[in-house]
Chain A
Amino acid sequence: DVKVTQSSRYLVKRTGEKVFLECVQDMDHENMFWYRQDPGLGLRLIYFSYDVKMKEKGDIPEGYSVSREKKERFSLILESASTNQTSMYLCASSISKGFLGTQYFGPGTRLLVL
């Protein structure tokens, strides 16, 4: 079974802090994704990556950056956290390039920015 893990289930940070959300997948998938999920807005794509050191902007990249130094790990970085970044963050991976394949989601990190 594909396993996607995220470093924290719950996280509380203060405004202005730098926040790192880590995601690891164990299936040697090329593609990894970061989404945020908000009530009434569904899932929105922040960034994705097709390969190591490669990144592409999704629908809402502002205020975020990402890092992919190793194939299995994809990090989401909030350079200076703000209250409007309070959300559920979901990581996913996929073996298929692009958006034509199954995405396997991690359990999510619920981030609260005070």
Chain B
Amino acid sequence: QQPVQSPQAVILREGEDAVINCSSSKALYSVHWYRQKHGEAPVFLMILLKGGEQKGHEKISASFNEKKQQSSLYLTASQLSYSGTYFCGTGANNLFFGTGTRLTVIP
């Protein structure tokens, strides 16, 4: 029931864009996105509760395609501070997280 994230790792130069995908073999009821910097606790980014929903703040946004059982996280014009591991989580009566996508932004 663990969602699958892709890619597993990505390296960007400052200013470049990235997309992180999260897909599930089961129906998605909600999708959470978190970012964890090295040695720190995961920090909430956003949650999408229904199909077709799109959310975003600053230059980080996400979409939720309920039919495709998939969510995508979009990072545009990346900054050094975006580096970290991004996790998606999904579930109704439990919360299953993906294994994470390690994003590294270099100058």
Contacts and interface: CB of A to CB of B under 8 A. Distances in A.
At the interface, is chain A mostly helix, strand, loop or mixed? Answer: loop
Contact of A59 (B32, B42, B96): B96
Interface stretch (B13-21, B63-71, B74-82, B97-105): B97-105
A4 B89 CA distance: 20
A104 B45 CA distance: 11
A59 B94 contact: yes
Interface residues of A, number: 23
Given A35-B97, A43-B87, 16 more contacts: A33-B95, A41-B99, A42-B2, A42-B99, A43-B42, A43-B89, A45-B94, A58-B94, A90-B41, A99-B92, A99-B93, A100-B30, A100-B47, A104-B44, A107-B40, A108-B41
Interface of A: 4, 33, 35, 40-45, 58-59, 90, 98-108
